[in-house]
Amino acid sequence: MLGIFESHAHFDDEAFDGDREELISSLPLNGIEYVINVGSNLKTSKKSLDFADKYPFIYAAVGAHPDDVRNLDDAKITRIRQLAKNEKCVAIGEVGLDYHYENDDETKYLQAKYFKAQLDIAKEEKLPVIVHSRDAANDNLTIMKEYPSLGGVIHCFSYSLEIALEYIKMGYHIGVGGAVTFKNSKKLCHVVENIPLEKILLETDCPYMAPVPFRGKRNSSLYLPYVVQKIAEIKDVSPQTVIEVTNKNAREVFFKKDRIIKELNHLKGNR
């Protein structure tokens, strides 16, 4: 029986400094089969790879969040490219555009420049991308259309059904987390209802975006069953169906490297 595949966590965050090892070690015992820890800058990308090295069920995504672009330069992009070659790096992310706090021309230029630079890395390394897009729907979609064959996930999806379907046509999946349980999540619930379950990935963005009844508190992968339950209600399927289908979806997106496929087949054979 498949467990939950957590496609977007930030266990490197200082919110976990007090109990990180204990919490991470408890995940497999609580039905969390795989975790992708996602970098938001060079430091956290390295930390994600450290976690992946330490814990067999954790994999890493490396990249720089759009909020980090003023700290980037060509040397750091080169370093991200080097990190992406690690055997347990399964994606470039999280990368994208975010105009929520700053939307001046210089910010837009820098975000687009480094977004494309990291999409180039994904293309070179044949890796999917974990895309952050906030208040930047049109520009984000325009850039991603320049990279039609990458695939990946639109993290913490917050746009319309029409945009979701556009991304799905391009081969991307839709990341759904705690926000789907919020009272004001009618738009996201509408998206979940009207896209195939085969195009949904489970995520937390922990320590952020905790689902109801923990909204406002520290989030973790342990709260994903609440997301599963809500999706199951919307799609009128069993929670186990949600878990198994989204697990399969995530493995198809992220576990493409030959070495990882061989490793998983070996583990499966030993069960």
Which residues make up each annotated binding site for a divalent metal cation?
Answer: 8, 10, 94, 132, 155, 205
> In a 3-state reduction of DSSP, which class is residue 255?
coil
Residue with tokens 């090295």: 53
Quote the DSSP letter at residue 254.
H
The token pair that represents 39 in the structure block: 């970098």
Element (H, E) at 223: none
> 34 forms bridges with which residues in the sheet?
5
Of 1, 3, 6, the closest CA to residue 203 belongs to 6
CA distances from 111 to 69, 72, 103, 141, 200 (A): 6, 10, 10, 14, 26
C-alpha span between 240 and 232 (Å, rounded):
9
Amino acid identity, position 38: V
- Known binding residues are 8, 10, 94, 132, 155, 205
Helices 137-144 and 161-169 cross at an angle (nearest 10°) of 10
Residue with tokens 């910010």: 107
